[in-house]
Amino acid sequence: MLNWQLSKLRELDALAAFDLFKLRQDVFILEQTCLYPDIDNLDQCAWHLLGRAEDGALAACLRVIPPSGKYRGPALGRLATSAAHRRCGYGQALLKEGIERARGLFPAQGIYLAAQTYLLGFYQAFGFHEVGEPYLEDGIEHIEMVRPPTATQL
């Protein structure tokens, strides 16, 4: 069971922000050996969903990005689960909670994301559909996906 917190970046205390950026660094830069600027200007306008384990450790996180020029609706991004908390169902719990929070913030809108292609089946199980063709981003194959506002899978 995870304890959820949804906050804008400016609302996070210093330790929560540290935990967030450390988890993302550990997963996206170190584990995936992908050198890119993880912290970007989208962090300032996004809502950050933090899932803490019972011991208080940050186990999972994502960000909800408001509709922008890239997507017509909100987008989920930077979904990460810590290595120590994998195989516990936290990835599924994170995506489910992220969908619910995005729907609460932006009702009746499709939810977008850029999925690593090896995770297509995972996202499809939650009602996401492929949009366009696969592309390389930072050396990893991705594809755009959308979850229509009428999707019922959770």
pTM of the shown model: 0.94
Q: What is the pLDDT of residue 151?
A: 82
Q: Where are the domains of the chain?
A: 3-108
Average pLDDT over residues 39-66: 96
What is the domain class of 3-108 according to CATH?
A: alpha beta
- Would you state the pLDDT for residue 69? 75
pLDDT classification of 24: cutoffs 50, 70, 90: very high
Over residues 115-141, the pLDDT tens digits come to: 999 999 999 999 999 999 999 988 899
39 touches 21 (CB < 8 A): yes
Cα separation values, 115 from 55, 107, 130, 152, Å: 30, 22, 9, 20
Q: Please, how many CA atoms are within 13 Å of residue 143, restricted to the half-sphere of its CB?
A: 16
